[in-house]
Amino acid sequence: MAKLVFDIETSALSLESFDEAQLEYLFRDAEKLPDEAARTARQAELRQQLNLYPFTAQVVCVAMLNAETGRGQVLFLAEDFEQGAAEGGPVEFVPCVDETELLTAFWDVARHYESIITFNGRGFDVPFIYLRSALLNVPISRKDWLGYRYQTDPHCDLAEQLTFYGVSGRDGAARRFNLDFYCKSFGIDSPKSHGVTGMDVNTLLAEGRNREIAEYCLRDVRATVALYQIWRERLAGTK
């Protein structure tokens, strides 16, 4: 059964994309603060959080790998890059002129896979990419990725598996950690060990360093593949 491992990177839309009522709604929490310094700090926090929501941000990169073969693609927003293979592996970097082209290309690939593997895909990547596709009227080729939570087919979310579906809450033995922490604990090369994190995406995009975003996203997916292999060998099917 062909399994697709993928991860997305997102970036907030320009504030000019929203009307006055939307901006008031988005920053209402900050405007309630009487202290100017606290209000400014809260506005900065809220602006950073805009990256997280499909109605205030766009998909700027999707990295995909076949879990078994290691072959794949990285789709990313860029106008001035030529596509080519990733250094040291059979992965093609594909520049896209806009988000519609990127999402269309993603769903064209996705329809060839029976199942997917993600890290926190159920909580973030899948609903985000579903809603962005709907907003842009991009046809979705797989609408079953948010099906029954307590199964690993067609969607194996490793953040769910490594916490046993949140069995012990925030503070118990199976509390949730981020991908970086799991990678370091299991001896996997962490995507963040190369000097770029998801917090840098806005800056990299503004500076035209789109390829660096694509390479970071690919490292996330490669780490997810390695973590999946460990989970499958050591934990999957445990009775």
Give tens-digit pLDDT for 86-119. 555 699 999 999 999 999 999 999 999 999 999 9
Helix axes 210-234, 179-186, angle to 10 degrees: 60
User: Residue 1 has what pLDDT?
Assistant: 77
| pLDDT at residue number 194 | 84
pLDDT in tens, 119-133: 999 999 999 999 999
User: Is-contact 109 4, C-beta < 8 A?
Assistant: yes
Encode the chain (239 residues) as per-residue pLDDT tens digits.
799 999 999 999 999 999 999 999 999 999 999 999 999 999 999 999 999 999 999 999 999 999 999 999 999 999 775 666 555 569 999 999 999 999 999 999 999 999 999 999 999 999 999 999 999 999 999 999 998 999 999 999 999 999 999 998 888 999 999 999 999 999 999 998 888 888 889 999 999 999 999 999 999 999 999 999 999 999 997 55
Tell me what pLDDT residue 152 has.
Answer: 95
DSSP single-letter state for residue 53? -
Domains defined for the chain, CATH in brackets: 3-18+56-234 (3.30.420.10)
Instruction: Provide the pLDDT for residue 198.
Output: 82
Q: Which secondary-structure segment (H or E) carries 105?
A: helix 99-110
Residue 223 structure tokens: 């780490």
* pLDDT given at position 197: 82
- Give, in degrees to the nearest 5, the angle at Cα 174 between 167 and 122: 65
Q: Hey, is 167 helix, strand or coil?
A: coil
Q: Whose CA is closest to 164, among 236, 221, 67?
A: 236
Residues 51/12, Cβ–Cβ less than 8 Å: yes
Please list, residue by residue across 136-150, b when 16 or more beta carbons sit within 10 angstroms of its beta carbon and e when fewer do: eebeeebeebeeeee
Integer Cα distance of 30 and 43 in angstroms: 6
What predicted TM-score, i.e. pTM, was given to this entire model?
0.93
Backbone phi, psi, residue 60, to 5°:
-110, -10
Contact 107, 133 (CB under 8 A): yes
CB neighbours of 48 closer than 8 A, spacing ≥ 6?
A: 12, 199
Task: Give the pLDDT score at 10.
Answer: 97
The pair of structure tokens assigned to 222 is 């490669």
Q: Which residue shows structure tokens 């490594």?
A: 162
Q: Token pair 């953040």 is at which residue?
A: 159
Confidence at residue 82, expressed as pLDDT on a 0 to 100 scale: 61
Tell me if 218 sits within 8 A of 86, measured CB to CB. Answer: yes
